[in-house]
Chain A
Amino acid sequence: MPEEFEPKIVAFLCKWCSSAGSDLAGVSRMEYPPNVIPIQVMCSGSVSPLYIFSALNKGADGVLVSGCHPGDCHYIKGNMYARRRLALVKKLLEYIGLEPERFQVSWVSAAEGTKYTQIIKDLVKELKPLGPQTKLRRNP
């Protein structure tokens, strides 16, 4: 029997909320699939669209950007700029026919270990049936 497809996910987590939240998931020993590799950034506002395109280009099957809830940004409003920028990226990627599941955004606070766990579980569940992302991927 062939091995099940395991999507590769890159997650850009802001240091103060989402990264802390995912740490909390760890501290609380919640289990979630190991498909996601976190990259800690200072703020979701620092995630350039280039990072997302590049991750997909370099073979990510899915990309997650996660930051603080509106109003909770450690940098006051970085996530608000992110929200606007990422909305455009999402629309653009869907417009060129990339599966919407492949790029997702979430707000995860430092207290929401459970939410983070759930998001990763869902993400993996949604990406598995799609198979490998080849559209923007540079053939190796």
Chain B
Amino acid sequence: MEKILTKKAFPQWIKKLESYKLYTPRKDEDIWNFEVTKDSENIELDYQNSVVSPKKIIFPQSEILLEFSSSGNNNLEIKEILPDNEAVVIFGLRPCDGRSLALIDKVFSGDFQDPYYWKRRNQTTLIGLSCLQPPSPNCFCLSVDGSPHSVEGLDILLTDLGDKFYVESLTEKGDKLLGKAKELFQEPKPEDKKAVKKIHLESEEKIKRRIKDIKSIPSKLKEMFDSPFWDEESLSCIRCGICTYLCPTCHCFDINDEVTSSSPLKGKRVRTWDTCQFPDFTMHSSGHNPRPDKASRLRQRMFHKFKYFVELYQNFQCIGCGRCISYCPVRIDIINVLDKVKDHGS
């Protein structure tokens, strides 16, 4: 379903979404972040992109899986804690972040449907906002099958046409949201359709950074597992977790029991983000660590995103948002690394 929503009508539509828990981009301390909106009246549209990706709303950094308690002598009561029932709307995702969820979906599906993830995922509606300007100088979505206006993973995509939005509803969830205020939406005129095509094309040209011939990467990596290349590339890495924690597609987690009382035993089992960049990620209780150094960890990050994931799901596990480049303390540049991988040996 494709519609037109005037900028004037936009706030009224948002108002109609009161029944939803609405996340919008907000700026504090100069950093953009998705947070539950305080005033839906004036939502900022001129933001670039959040530092922490909106994945944190569907896949929180820390969530309780279950609670356990014992009333003494060894009888343990266990209570599963599923996310609360609440209809959620995330407004203003960048199309790449939308795609990231489409990718993570694949991970949490399959033989085991992760109930925690899917409950949040299903009760959340994603309103994307296509990029007219690249939100970051390090955007490279085009190189990884994405685009500044891709619709994958989204329920609605808005494109700013100056005085109005071009609205594409892509799912039933999306239609439902539009349905909240049918009267506000008009049918798009042909010139609108033309305009939006034009804008989309222009926005693509504005994306400066590319990875050429990315298709060759997986096979290239294959030969490079034991290459000293990784030592060289990782020299400046300081083994922090920024690249992976900020990555919209990284989804590794750890599970811990947080015991709040030892007698009587009481506590909760908690799932938290984890990252392959931390030394303890692969630490064995024996003390052996199969990935003992930063080289092997950088390699893992590249292999997972551009080889293993491709083999499993036929996609790169990267949506080209450029966060890992912009926020890396030592500016390790994934594009740069992959370019070198391509030229490796030749």
Contacts and interface: CB of A to CB of B under 8 A. Distances in A.
Q: A and B: partners? A: yes
B265 to A, nearest CB: 13
Interface residues of A, number: 2
Interface residues of B, number: 2
B69 to A, nearest CB: 12
A140 B260 CA distance: 6
Contacts of A138: 260
Helix, strand, loop or mixed for chain A's interface?
A: loop
A49 B260 CA distance: 22
Interface in A116-138: 138
Contacts of B261: 140
Interface string B223-265: 0000000000000000000000000000000000000110000
Interface in B256-277: 260-261
Nearest to B267: A140
Interface string A38-62: 0000000000000000000000000
A138 B261 CA distance: 12
A140 B268 CA distance: 10
B269 to A, nearest CB: 15
Contacts of A140: 260-261
B272 to A, nearest CB: 14
Nearest to A140: B260
Nearest to A59: B260
A60 B170 CA distance: 53
A138 B260 CA distance: 9
A102 to B, nearest CB: 21
Nearest to B266: A140
Nearest to B258: A138
A54 to B, nearest CB: 14
A138 B258 CA distance: 10
Interface in A68-107: none
Nearest to A58: B260
A140 B267 CA distance: 8
Contacts of B260: 138, 140
A140 B261 CA distance: 8
Nearest to A138: B260
A111 to B, nearest CB: 37
Interface of B: 260-261
Interface of A: 138, 140
3 contacts: A138-B260, A140-B260, A140-B261
**Top 3 nearest A-B pairs by Cβ distance?**
A140-B260, A140-B261, A138-B260
